[in-house]
Chains A and B, each alone.
Chain A
Amino acid sequence: MQLNKPQNFTTPLAKQSKTQTSNNRALKGLLTTAACALLGVNSNSEANTNVLADWKFDTALMFYNEPSRVSASEAIIAGTKTFNNDQILNLKVTVDALTGASANGAVTQPNPQTFTSPSGEKNYQVKANTTPLDNTFKDFRLQANAQWTQPLGNDYTWSVGSNLSKEYDYLSVGANTNIAKDFNKKNTTLSAGLALNYDVINPVGGIAKPLTPMLYPNQFARSVSSDDNEADSNNKITIADSDHKTTADLLFGVTQVINRRMIMQFNYSLSQVDGYLTDPYKFLSRVNNTGLTQQYLYENRPNSRTKHAFFAQTKYHLNNSIIDASYRYMTDDWHINSHTVDLHYRINLSKGSYIEPHVRYYTQTAADFYQPFIQEEAVLPEFASADYRVGKMDAYTLGVKYGMPVTSGQSMAFRVEYYHQTPKNAGFTQPGVLAKQNIYENIDAVIAQVSYSF
């Protein structure tokens, strides 16, 4: 963790050209007018432009698409103001919209399958020999972050921030603080940080009783008549309308300048999550010894998770290019271990433009409660999930970014990435008809992004 520029969205103002271009002013004026219009305030364009002249903005539009699955669009606007005494205020707003289909956890079958939507109001069908996807998936998220960073004396940097994120069925609020101390002529920086988050989930249709079956309307009627206290939703036996989780993150870092061309960073982070960690929309297929699904059960995960992450990064400046390499090892008490290698190579072209190829490789082992399905004759475990995201998996990303200055103080960048996930069999034998099914389907995604800074 480098705290010299903890929310380094911009060049510090001091480094910028004193002569802001008229384009820049016009843009900031426009932004102010738009903000004032939104707030219903009369905007005095010249006065407000001056207020915003001290700000630097970074914006981005990103599109994420998995063909025949999820599509997401995300927009970010981040504003940074650097005050005279090196105090930095960073404000960021993120919005994203999600539509499309997401794997519901059930296994592929040689027959068509019917599921009840999370609201219980309608059914959706999945064709034979096709990975079951829930196509009722839709969400909109609004996130706001604020971060204040300032020097304390000559050698310390202190930062404090907060975040708020709201989705239709989810709310997250959090706060963080960091302290960093420089040593050895600022060649070594030690830092420590703490972040706390409180999340509330309010799933559509309520929270199912763990590992109870998904119900169809006719089954629901029977269930209600047999036990009025439990069955209170259209498609499941629920235990609550909402639940919550808390996350505490500790982060310790060392940043070291090696020589004129090279800088390194080592971080250790500890993350403790407690509360409702289950995905309320995911099923597990309960199959008989011929591999045919008999029931769909709502998954259940442990109510705590302790994660340790070790992160190392190095940046090396060659004559006309920069290598940025990082590695992360993560291990947790769900017995998920993962390795991530990330490599960026920025090649400077003429007139301030650059091209930056990117490669990322990721591999993880399965959580100890992961199982792709449950055998009908087996005793129900306490915890089980068929979500491929906690299963054994490899993934890689290939991408390229092109950036260029537009005018003084303004720049633009385009980024395209291809992301490929390969879920793997963690050692489960597929009985009967399941042996011929592909229950670990690969996932492809394309990411496209345009960024603009002014």
Chain B
Amino acid sequence: MNTINIIKCSVIALVILLSGCSALGVEPWQRDLLAKDEMSLTAAPVDAALDDHIYFSKEASSGGRSFGGGGCGCN
């Protein structure tokens, strides 16, 4: 896929997303559920690190959730 097209699409998507985002969200006192550890996006970082290493070694894709490059000679 053409890199420039991807960047263009990403910028457009971001602008649309941000303009819609201002209507979303909660007040600070409504964060009781979101503040829980288990609601953080990477709630089990050790599990995620171990899984990343396994799938990086066994498949041709990496990253996405976080940085995906380098670090081991397994692929």
Contact = CB atoms under 8 A, between A and B. Distances in A.
A308 B6 contact: yes
A255 to B, nearest CB: 7
Contacts of A308: 1, 3, 6
B41 A255 contact: yes
Interface in B44-60: 44-47, 49-50, 53-55, 58-60
Contacts of A245: 70
Contact of B65 (A326, A331, A401): A326
Contact of A330 (B28, B42, B61, B71): B61
A269 B67 CA distance: 8
A247 to B, nearest CB: 3
B54 A64 contact: yes
A39 B39 CA distance: 38
| Secondary structure class of chain A's binding surface, majority of residues | strand
A174 interface: yes
A247 B60 CA distance: 15
Contacts of A257: 24-26, 34
A2 B46 contact: no
Interface string A367-390: 100000000000000000000011
Interface in B17-33: 17-18, 21-22, 24-28, 30-33
Contact of B39 (A94, A199, A315): A315
A265 B10 CA distance: 14
Contacts of B28: 185-186
A9 interface: yes
Given A1-B66, A141-B72, A308-B1, A254 B14 contact: yes
Contacts of A2: 40-42
Interface stretch (A107-115, A187-195, A206-214, A433-441): A187-195
Contacts of B67: 176, 193, 195, 249, 251, 269
Interface of A: 1-2, 5, 7-9, 11, 58-60, 62, 64, 74, 76, 78, 92, 94, 96, 139, 141, 143, 163, 165, 167, 169-170, 172, 174, 176, 183-188, 190, 193, 195, 197-199, 201, 245, 247-249, 251-252, 254-261, 263, 265-271, 273, 279, 306-311, 313, 315, 317, 322, 324, 326, 328, 330-331, 334, 336, 338, 340, 346, 354, 362, 364, 367, 389-390, 393, 395, 401, 413, 415, 419, 421, 443, 445, 447, 449, 451
